[in-house]
Structure 1
């Protein structure tokens, strides 16, 4: 049986249970004879504590309302307790009563913890969340009462189709798993997602949720280049060109290009490019910002030099 089970007030708790008989006692256990299952609370020595027996499948009336759903003749003692309350929180032992075999395992028990409110579902992401690459979000919620499992719903900043299934965990407990697969974009970065578990309890519901902020890795976006000062400058002036972008992970490589003769020529690297203006520095510039996921290119900006165009005009007229 599981070491621990979480229950919800007003719902049921299913204990996955099986047993075996040690070799020296196998000859005394006859699977064809009706076998009763007994659940004992807190202390396996029910001879000294008769009130610790809370359920006996051979009796019509018990302290706990329950049912052994497993086939005892096949050594399956899976049991369901109904309408559990917080007073059920305790340690439980299982006993077999047959003819002529009777036995209790005092070293194996299950701790049942019953709460008024359900525990939050577990929300996980498979792998890195990267733009353009499909990713799966998994939400898991305990299902202590498999007859009435929780319903899992999602709140996501994108279209999705969930896949839900009831599954058995390695510790023999049950849970509901909901998986959503989608392809994130940079627009999903730092958006909240929510998985909500809705447990039916009687005629009402009890809910619990888990919130998570998406962290999407993406190449540089909104890359822009700026010039300071932006107005036309004199030859010999100092000008700063700055490249900026939005990226996750942040851009670490910046490259500057000047358009000369209609073709781009790389002129510098770095977030900022500072130059003392010469006649040949005038013209169009742009930058590229790059991180491990790709790069973004800015629009072109104009570095204008005072008097350059006018001087060329007069020189041309004079030559003509």
Structure 2
């Protein structure tokens, strides 16, 4: 009869075989499904393991187990060359180390100086007396390339005009000792290392800005730079921004633009830029100072009537707001346009005002000029003869003052003004002397021997002086 201890051991082996037939693994390993690695860089494989309950009695956590990595196939019994790394060995095919604490079931491993022939699938195995097991259901695929994979850009929320938005750029860091550096075409914050759900590492960079409609359909770029040895390897990701905004650059046009006859067909068209596109166009007419909604739709066609003349504009609307267009004029032949009439009336009023001011200034200057030309005689007379006399006295010598005891004698002389030069007589005086052959001037004579006023300085002047006193 077998010992009870041997019976339990045989039962344990039997149950292990049965569970294995039903897909129950002897070891449960946790690792990422895939790792993208750069040639010449390192790769860190996040790894942890656990032992199923049916084998916990054979696994002694007090004894540090060895970690083994198998390449290409989980069954290595007949192919020992498939073992590329064993932590209990000092020399391995792959240069690496288990950085995790195996006593705490952490099997994280780093391989250095990765080459292209590292590309394959890998299985993890534990060897610890008396427990040995391989997770045949779980593997990690390592893909080695000469160029890094592109970073990934994600957007948090809707990119809307006037609303701050954050863009995130992340790049894998298969070798955490030499993480990539991320840069944007926009101002950014510092890079941050983060851990992914599968325990792999990545670098995250975030840019926050307030977009406008000018950012719509513009490309932004995030670039990752990986240090590999003495050189750098770059990858980038371009993304076109999709910015939501209210209607912009809304404009209205009219065809034909020239004045039309009543009964003619006129087409008005409204255009606008918006995201999402405009869903509702509305037309308005301004006539007599009042604004009236007249139609809906991007195009508005009408057979012109007398009351259709005036200004028109349109509005475009989407879910984010509306935009109003410029005003266009529908002119009807034979009607006075208010704007044109107003401009013409204003221009005519300005011309009349300037004319009145000019006429007033001219009249004032003319009166002032005539007053200076017709200076009063010593007796206060304002006749043309007095003017001429004044000019003559200024041109010749001043007459001597009469003696106090001698009486004044009055002499009359005929003066022919038709022979005077026009430059000597002002225009106003010429108007008054036209049609006259002669006028009489009153001349004061101081005595019989008094000197007559000098008249010889007037060209063509003929004067006949009759003296009433002695000869």
TM, length-normalised to structure 2: 0.62
Question: Which protein shows a greater Rg?
Answer: 2
Cα offset for 1:163?
A: 5.5
Tell me whether 1:153 sits opposite 2:180 in the alignment.
no
Cα pair 1:39 1:93 within 8 Å, conserved? yes
Superposed, which structure 2 residues align to 1:106-255 within 5 Å? 106-156=136-186, 160-162=187-189, 164-255=191-282
Cα pair 1:163 1:180 within 8 Å, conserved? no
Aligned counterpart, 1:303:
330
Find the aligned partners of 1:80 and 1:294 in 2 and give their Cα distance. 56
Find the aligned partners of 1:104 and 1:233 in 2 and give their Cα distance. 92
Q: Which runs of 4+ in 1 moved over 4 A?
A: none
Greater mean alpha carbon deviation, residues 70-79 or residues 228-237: 228-237
Find the aligned partners of 2:151 and 2:118 in 1 and give their Cα distance. 23
Aligned counterpart, 1:317:
none
Superposed, which structure 2 residues align to 1:44-83 within 5 Å? 44-83=74-113
Query: What residue ranges of structure 1 are gaps of 5+ in the alignment?
Result: 314-320
Cα offset for 1:46?
A: 2.9
Aligned counterpart, 1:41:
71
Greater mean alpha carbon deviation, residues 212-221 or residues 17-26: 17-26
Find the aligned partners of 1:45 and 1:252 in 2 and give their Cα distance. 65
Corresponding residue SS for 1:208: strand
Find the aligned partners of 1:281 and 1:150 in 2 and give their Cα distance. 68
Deviation string for 1:84-121 (max 9, x for gaps)?
A: 11101111122222333333222222111111111222
Corresponding residue SS for 1:28: coil
Deviation string for 1:109-150 (max 9, x for gaps)?
A: 211111111122222333332212232322222221122122
Find the aligned partners of 1:299 and 1:263 in 2 and give their Cα distance. 17
TM, length-normalised to structure 1: 0.89
Aligned counterpart, 1:22:
52
Cα pair 1:43 1:49 within 8 Å, conserved? no
Corresponding residue SS for 2:198: coil
Greater mean alpha carbon deviation, residues 44-53 or residues 77-86: 44-53
How many pairs were matched up?
A: 310
Find the aligned partners of 1:274 and 1:101 in 2 and give their Cα distance. 89
Which of 300, 306, 320 is residue 293 of structure 1 equivalent to?
320
Find the aligned partners of 1:149 and 1:273 in 2 and give their Cα distance. 61
What RMSD over aligned residues (CA atoms) do the two structures have, in Å? 2.2
Tell me which protein shows more helix as a share of its residues. Answer: 2
Cα offset for 1:78?
A: 0.4
Corresponding residue SS for 1:60: coil
Tell me which protein shows more strand as a share of its residues. Answer: 1
Query: What residue ranges of structure 2 are gaps of 5+ in the alignment?
Result: 1-30, 342-471
Cα pair 2:279 2:317 within 8 Å, conserved? yes
Find the aligned partners of 2:303 and 2:55 in 1 and give their Cα distance. 97
Whose relative contact order is higher, 1 or 2, with alpha carbons under 8 Å and at least 6 apart? 1
Cα offset for 1:240?
A: 1.6
Corresponding residue SS for 2:153: strand
Cα pair 2:331 2:337 within 8 Å, conserved? no
Find the aligned partners of 1:107 and 1:309 in 2 and give their Cα distance. 91
Find the aligned partners of 1:112 and 1:310 in 2 and give their Cα distance. 81
